[in-house]
Amino acid sequence: MREITYAQAINEAMSEEMRREKNLIFMGEDIGLYGGAFGVSKGMFEEFGPERILDTPITELAITGCAAGASMTGLRTIVEIMFSDFMTLAMEQLANQAAKNRFQFGGQGSVPMVLRAPGGSGTGAAAQHSQSLEAWVAHVPGLKVVIPSTPADAKGLLKASIRDDNPVVFLEQKLLYRVKGEVPDLDEDFIIPLGKADIKREGKDVTIITYGRMVQRCIKVAEEFAKDGVEIEVVDIRTLVPLDKETLISSAKKTGKVLVVHEACQTGGFGGELVSVVVESDAFFYLDAPVKRLGGLDVPIPYNPGLEALVVPTEEKITAAIKDLL
């Protein structure tokens, strides 16, 4: 397979779906001629034109509301929120309108809408542009939540999200945009179903359950432990909602030791939900140690690069947590 970046994979997914589905439109700030704040939509304006690639005013509430309304009345929509932090401005339309419409009308309508948003720390963007807010949206019934960790996952999951008849929040970690990985050729209609976790590395001694940027860090740590004969299984959940509980439970049974890792603040983070999946199942009786969580510190993301690097799980912190489990 060819190698492309995470950003290119997202661009390909959107472009392929817009060629396939003529009722699909794409809305957001600076996504047209400028090509998006992170260059993800470069070339799309030139191919699809201003009627389908819509540069919007700087008002996340209005963008999301327009997309939700358009989706309810026959179009399919993609919305780009420039930073996931600004979902806070769009939450009324996202949580109270898009997420609830299908339920409130007894399934008579649908809201085929994807809200894409880059999130996470590591770029020196400081406290208001570096948050990981996936637990907020995962808490809202009616929203599906996706966080891919590789270019292939980004493409396959985004195409599946666009074809879904429900609103999907598709979160992209900013530091992954330039990461390269193998992706199937363009002549393949590559789809990854939502709700299916992926075992990124097989192991028998410890299970790490993680997602997003932390997947690569956990794999690096696992490779170091393998030099000493400790085989760590790395499970990438990929979609928070729907969640593949069966894969998590099966892996926990196999290894008997579980560490949950995520970048977001630990208090109220999605890691608590992942721990509950394991301990509330029959996997509990296979555990040799309590399930351990490792999340970000409960502080706003600092601008100082040294401090910024320390507030999220580092390879050193992940290594120490595994040693505690062992």
What confidence tens digit (pLDDT) does each residue in 60-119 have?
A: 999 999 999 999 999 999 999 999 999 999 999 999 999 999 999 999 999 999 999 999
Short-list 162, 148, 63, 156, CA closest to 111: 162
User: What is the pLDDT averaged over residues 108-131?
Assistant: 96
289 vs 146: CA distance, rounded Å: 30
User: What is the pLDDT averaged over residues 33-53?
Assistant: 96
Per-chain mean pLDDT for the chain: 97
Short-list 222, 157, 238, 215, CA closest to 190: 157
Short-list 280, 287, 91, CA closest to 207: 287
Please determine whether the domains at 2-183 and 198-325 fall in the same fold group of CATH: yes
Domain boundaries, the chain: 2-183, 198-325
Q: Is 129 among the catalytic positions?
A: yes
Catalytic hit among 76, 102, 116, 129: 129
Given this structure, which CATH class describes domain 2-183?
A: alpha beta
pLDDT for residue 224 is more than 90: yes
Structure tokens at 12: 């390909």
Short-list 101, 122, 123, CA closest to 110: 101
202 vs 246: CA distance, rounded Å: 16
Structure tokens at 296: 């970000």
Is residue 144 packed enough to be buried (19+ CB in 10 Å), middle (13-18) or exposed (0-12)? buried
How confident is the model at residue 187, as a pLDDT?
85
* Statement: the pTM of the whole predicted model exceeds 0.85: yes
CATH for 198-325? 3.40.50.920
